Chains A and B, each alone.
Chain A
Amino acid sequence: MRPFGIRSKLAQEFSGFTGKAKDFRLLIDREKESEQYHNIYYADDIRYIRLKLMNLPFDADRKRKIPPIINCRMSKGGVGKTVICGNVAATLAMFGHRVLMIDGDPQASLTGLFGINWANENIKHIGELMYGFHRKESIDIEAAIRPLYNNHMLDLIASDITLANTDTWLMGSTNREFLFKKFLDANVDIFGRYDVIVIDSAPSTNLLTNSFMCASQKILAVVWLDGQSLKAMQVLASNVTELNSAFSERGFHLDVHIVANGYHPSYGSCKDALTTLASNYPDQLSDIVIPHASSFMRQVELYKEEQSGPAIEREPNSTAARAIIDLTKSLVKEYDIRIADQPVI
């Protein structure tokens, strides 16, 4: 469990509270912990407050159906999929949403970002769960879900290197593109508890990434602002077009939402790349741009891995965190992410 909490100012912003700070404190019944100077608010506190502001109890539930899925996707590596995925998921949880993260990358960098060393841990990854489901064996999904924040505000299905084997059996299964969707639907009692599912995909184009895409309505394409990354759009576009034309008869259509990452004001190439993106994708490009910030570089501790954590946790008042918070707010609208089925105002 990760003891991440935020101070009053951010907590007020996250819960959409506009009154006086004194009144805000009264919304929560918990006493301040003794040796603490600041009031600290955890993810479940924010959910409690937001539900209270909507006159709903904390155990307010949602309908058992699969929530919106944010699938962080790019055919190229090193563009910041994992960084955005982990930070957005943590921020969504701090906004009061119940979040499930799925690490869909055999490099397991999302798993590492949250301080889990896959080499030392017994990890049951999403590939194993899907395989068990495919073979109609009994699978223990609950055991594979690792709680990161209290009260299941942020949960993770971790990954390790063996996730790379998934394609070998997926190749021989029927309707393999929709296997992940079927797996979610069959276990809606578990996955329907969350307000949103966030998936970190591998930077390749293979059967597993296709399977994740076919369960999504809209992928979140992360683009690093350089020429190489823009070229990779070519691969992503043909991947999306292929799936859309193959399954259009089923009513399947995948949309794309693009977020630009790594903007630095002193690099002309960044501005050039962003100009190209803004001109080509006026409707799909997110207005929020993620800067090239050093906080992102400090997220992973090489020698003290268990101390790693997303920038929003480590430096919640940094420029990087601000960009992530703004992006997350826009994604809540873009993907219609709710709290206990209540639309967020």
Chain B
Amino acid sequence: MKKSLKVSGLVDVGAISRDRPAEMLPKFEKRSQYSLEIDGQQENSLLIPVEKISPNPYQPRTVFPAKEMEELAVSISEIGLIQPISVRKLDDAQFQIIAGERRWRAYKLLEKEAIPATIIDCSDEDMAIMAISENVDRTDLSDYEICKAIRKIETLFPNRTRLAKALGMIREHLYRYLAFEAMPTFLIERLDTNPTIISKFAAGEIKRVLNATERDDLEMAEGILKNAIDLIETGQLDQTKIASHILASLKAKKNGGITCASKEIYPIHNGKDHVGFLQISPNGVTAKIKAGVISRENSMALQRLISDFISKNFN
């Protein structure tokens, strides 16, 4: 068999050496052993046994979809944990999560024994605020869940001005969130199962409309609202238009007129030609006919006809 050509062999026969001063070429850093100082500043970050950790009681997030958790677990198993979770120490060698419940759950899924965590000293009050402010700015927590979380910590503060300040939001915003409180019972039940169904803006609008509705019409308005929520859920009604929808429907119901959630358009033909359309929308009924199709006299006759029709039928 032919002999192998090796660096060690060449060194042995004296053809080359390994002893040249070694500064000529750039160095490649070796993979470092797993270190706990993940971004250099977390001196008190440690590996804490997963089962010694319990979730944050003030956690506003109530739903942890299994699929998302699996995806997070896969990404953690591949590239590791980018940021350690934050915990506080309880009396009996137990820890409570301040931020990072999803990561902790993913670690449990992966059946890992310990998770990198930073220990922070923190009071109940701070804990609640941190849990909310961690999540408020993220899009995946619904307004309703934030409202519930705010309600939970409300009593920790003397008044709402202080509460708003601690949360870092203006008071108007805080009241928007709290508008969910004024929703009728059936809507609260719906929100408990599907918290994303309406935003805080829509909730504010609903509150405003219901407050302005006369007591006699309240039952009718709630019926319309119930219907409107169904329409929102199936995508037939835009939730930003909920106030005008309720008002228009209420008016229409009282007058016996037509209601609809979205625009309906019917074409008007002259023989085969398309000359205009009739549109029924939440705002009303519009007819439009192209220029040059009917004369001024006929237009005026049409106007009289419609006026007569309305006064005959609705008075």
Q: Which parts of A187-236 form the interface with B (CB within 8 Å)?
A: 230, 233-234
**How many residue pairs bridge A and B at CB < 8 Å?**
100
- Contact A281 B7, beta carbon cutoff 8 Å: no
Question: Does B10 sit at the interface, judged by CB under 8 A?
Answer: yes
Q: Which parts of B2-20 form the interface with A (CB within 8 Å)?
A: 2-8, 10-11, 15-20
Question: Does B272 sit at the interface, judged by CB under 8 A?
Answer: no
Question: Does B121 sit at the interface, judged by CB under 8 A?
Answer: no
Question: Does A265 sit at the interface, judged by CB under 8 A?
Answer: yes
List the one stretch of A37-45, A104-112, A237-245 in contact with chain B.
Answer: A237-245
Question: Does B1 sit at the interface, judged by CB under 8 A?
Answer: yes
Question: Does B27 sit at the interface, judged by CB under 8 A?
Answer: yes
Bound-complex Cα distance A290 to B6 (A): 9
Known: A289-B10, A291-B5, A322-B4. A249 touches B82 (CB 8 A): yes
Question: Does A275 sit at the interface, judged by CB under 8 A?
Answer: yes
7 new A-B pairs (CB below 8 Å) besides A253-B29, A288-B7? A241-B26, A253-B32, A255-B30, A263-B5, A265-B15, A271-B10, A280-B25
CB within 8 A of A278: which of B7, B21, B31?
A: B7
Question: Does A88 sit at the interface, judged by CB under 8 A?
Answer: no
Give B34's nearest chain A residue, CB to CB.
A251
Q: Which residues of B are at the interface with A, using a C-beta cutoff of 8 A?
A: 1-8, 10-11, 15-22, 24-32, 38-39, 78-80, 82
Give me 22 A-to-B residue pairs in the complex whose CB atoms sit less than 8 angstroms apart, sorted by A's number. Answer: A230-B24, A237-B28, A238-B26, A250-B82, A255-B28, A255-B31, A263-B10, A271-B15, A275-B18, A276-B20, A276-B24, A278-B11, A279-B17, A279-B19, A280-B27, A281-B25, A285-B7, A288-B4, A288-B7, A289-B5, A290-B5, A323-B4
Q: Which parts of A12-66 form the interface with B (CB within 8 Å)?
A: none
Residues of B within 8 A of A169 (CB): none
Residues of B within 8 A of A286 (CB): 7
Q: Which parts of A296-319 form the interface with B (CB within 8 Å)?
A: 317, 319
Give A241's nearest chain B residue, CB to CB.
B29
Residues of B within 8 A of A233 (CB): 25-26
Question: Which 10 A-B residue pairs are closest in the complex by CB-CB distance?
Answer: A237-B26, A251-B80, A279-B20, A280-B25, A322-B2, A253-B31, A275-B16, A250-B79, A256-B28, A326-B4
Give B3's nearest chain A residue, CB to CB.
A322
Q: How large is the interface on A (under 10, 10 to 19, 20 to 34, 35 or more residues)?
A: 35 or more
- Contact B7 A289, beta carbon cutoff 8 Å: yes
Closest chain B CB from A289 CB (angstroms)? 5
- Contact B22 A279, beta carbon cutoff 8 Å: yes
- Contact A288 B6, beta carbon cutoff 8 Å: yes
Question: Does A8 sit at the interface, judged by CB under 8 A?
Answer: no
- Contact B79 A284, beta carbon cutoff 8 Å: no
Give B81's nearest chain A residue, CB to CB.
A251
- Contact B4 A274, beta carbon cutoff 8 Å: no
Bound-complex Cα distance A173 to B207 (A): 44
Give A235's nearest chain B residue, CB to CB.
B26
Residues of A within 8 A of B18 (CB): 275, 278-279, 282
Residues of B within 8 A of A256 (CB): 28
- Contact A260 B7, beta carbon cutoff 8 Å: yes
Question: Does A336 sit at the interface, judged by CB under 8 A?
Answer: no
Question: Does A341 sit at the interface, judged by CB under 8 A?
Answer: no
Residues of A within 8 A of B32 (CB): 253
Residues of B within 8 A of A281 (CB): 25, 28
Bound-complex Cα distance A265 to B1 (A): 20
- Contact A230 B7, beta carbon cutoff 8 Å: no
Closest chain B CB from A30 CB (angstroms)? 26
Question: Does A334 sit at the interface, judged by CB under 8 A?
Answer: no
Closest chain B CB from A267 CB (angstroms)? 11
- Contact A249 B25, beta carbon cutoff 8 Å: no
Bound-complex Cα distance A252 to B78 (A): 10
Closest chain A CB from B90 CB (angstroms)? 30
Bound-complex Cα distance A265 to B10 (A): 10
- Contact B5 A274, beta carbon cutoff 8 Å: no
Bound-complex Cα distance A179 to B173 (A): 40
Closest chain B CB from A321 CB (angstroms)? 9
* Most chain A CB within a 10 A radius of its CB, from B1, B25, B26: B25
Give A223's nearest chain B residue, CB to CB.
B25
- Contact B4 A237, beta carbon cutoff 8 Å: no
- Contact A284 B16, beta carbon cutoff 8 Å: no
Residues of B within 8 A of A237 (CB): 25-28
- Contact B16 A274, beta carbon cutoff 8 Å: yes
Residues of A within 8 A of B3 (CB): 322
Residues of B within 8 A of A278 (CB): 7, 11, 16-18
Closest chain A CB from B308 CB (angstroms)? 60
Residues of B within 8 A of A277 (CB): 25
Closest chain A CB from B223 CB (angstroms)? 44
Give A234's nearest chain B residue, CB to CB.
B26
